[in-house]
Amino acid sequence: MTTTALITGANKGIGLETARQLAARGMTVMLRARDVSRGTGADRELQAEGHAARLIHLDVTDGKLIAAAAAFVDAEYGHLDVLVNNAGIATMGGAPSATSLDGFRTILETNVLGVSAVTNAMLPLLRRAPGARIVNVSSEVGSVTLVCDHANPMWALPASLSYPASKAAVNMVTAMYAKELAGTGILVNAANPGYCATDLNGRSGFRSASQGAEVSVTLATLPEGGPSGTLWGYAWGGDPDKPYAELPW
């Protein structure tokens, strides 16, 4: 049976690198892209490298496109082994008191509601796989514990609201799906790729997109009996000899 993986926001950056690394492990990867022209370039790039890659047009805020994507996966493969909810957006920072409510709503719709909408649509397909994995790409800036710790690098970051709040919500979304699916063999975890150089932050990060993808790939390929309901990934300011760890909510 073909091992399948679907990655949202996979036309570039961490999403594309996640698709590349999962494909290198023998999976058939489906790249879900809102921008069809960029997505087409991404799937052709992976195909040129010898990987099994398919493009699916998807906007995580569009219910009709989500349903069409689920129908495509069902018709082509009949199941889904891995879902990586990677798609996300960010806006310019600013003090919480200066937050644009319209911008806040837009971020929540994509970063949080999109995760739930896609997961719900794909869940029947995930249930058909032997031990499926769901990975929600989150961030350490969504950890209330870390951003309030004066000894952690998070404390020095500007006190913006929209993006961190959206990732804190993704963490709770992850915990609730893990709770619902406990005992089914489906593992659900949140990934912290760390501060990676991507278009999302003007390429200001100190980790590469490939390094960030390693976190999602590890969670997507957990063995049977692995952890579920955790925030795991790069531990900024932690033990340099052990860069990856479970992080506090």
Which domains does the chain carry? 4-247 (3.40.50.720)
| pLDDT tens digits, 93-139 | 789 999 999 999 999 999 999 999 999 999 999 999 999 999 999 99
Which pLDDT does position 93 carry in this prediction?
A: 72
Burial of 139 (0-12, 13-18, 19+ CB in 10 A): buried
Residues 6+ apart with CB under 8 A from 105: none
Greatest CA separation for the chain:
53
Res 241 pLDDT > 60: yes
Closest CA to 80 of 29, 40, 116: 29
Beta bridge partners of 231: 190, 247
Please provide the average confidence, as pLDDT, over all residues in the chain: 92
| pLDDT tens digits, 214-239 | 999 999 999 999 999 999 999 987 78
What is the identity of the amino acid at 50? G
Tokens linked to 227: 């952890």
Q: Count Cβ atoms below 10 Å from residue 45 Cβ, excluding itself.
A: 16
Whole-prediction pTM:
0.94
pLDDT band at residue 172 under the 50/70/90 scheme: very high
Which pLDDT does position 32 carry in this prediction?
A: 78
Res 196 pLDDT > 60: yes
| pLDDT tens digits, 7-60 | 999 988 999 999 999 999 999 999 977 666 554 678 889 899 989 899 998 899
Closest CA to 81 of 7, 181, 138, 18: 7
**Mean pLDDT along residues 77-97:** 92
Give the 3-state secondary structure of residue 33.
strand
CA 92 to chain CA centroid, Å, is 21
Is 242 tagged catalytic? no
Which pLDDT does position 24 carry in this prediction?
A: 96
Give yes or no for a contact between 10 and 18, defined as CB atoms under 8 angstroms apart. yes
3-state secondary structure 215-245: HHHHHHCCCCCCCCCCEEEECCCCCCCCCEE
Is 163 tagged catalytic? yes
pLDDT band at residue 6 under the 50/70/90 scheme: very high
Catalytic residue among 12, 77, 163, 234: 163
Burial of 116 (0-12, 13-18, 19+ CB in 10 A): middle
Catalytic residue among 12, 64, 77, 167: 167
Beta bridge partners of 54: 30
Q: Which helix (H) or strand (E) holds 103?
A: helix 101-108
Give yes or no for a contact between 39 and 7, defined as CB atoms under 8 angstroms apart. no
The strand ranges marked E within 69-223 are 82-85, 133-137, 187-192
